[in-house]
Amino acid sequence: MSHQAEVWIDVEAARALVRWKSLFAKEVTVRARQLAAESSEPNRVTLAHCQQAVQSVASSLSATLLDGGDRSGDRKIA
């Protein structure tokens, strides 16, 4: 059994991670629905829509965070 070092994360960092995870999930859902609406089956969200949405949202979120934005978690990213 391997021994893991104890790791501490401060409260502000933990809260930011929770906000970003929630924001990412919401934005992926919105973007996947938009992609489905633009497809031949507008009422069916497929895995392909979700994969496309993840790529789009991940790029936007990455740029937002690298620019120092979205400290509150309230800014729309996609």
pLDDT grade for 60, boundaries at 50, 70 and 90: confident
Measured at the CA of 61, the angle between CA 55 and CA 66, to 5 degrees, comes to: 125
So where are the chain's domains? 27-78
Q: For the segment 30-50, what is each residue's pLDDT rounded down to a tens digit? A: 999 999 999 999 999 999 999
List own/partner pairs for 66-70 with CB under 8 A and 24 or more apart: 70/20, 70/23
Q: What percent of the chain has pLDDT over 70?
A: 82
Mean pLDDT, rounded, of the chain: 85
Instruction: Write down the H helix ranges in the chain.
Output: 11-37, 47-66
Please indicate whether residue 63 or residue 73 has the higher confidence score (pLDDT). 63
Distance CA 78, CA 31 (A): 8
Res. 73: pLDDT tops 50: no
Backbone torsions φ then ψ of 47, nearest 5 degrees? -60, -40
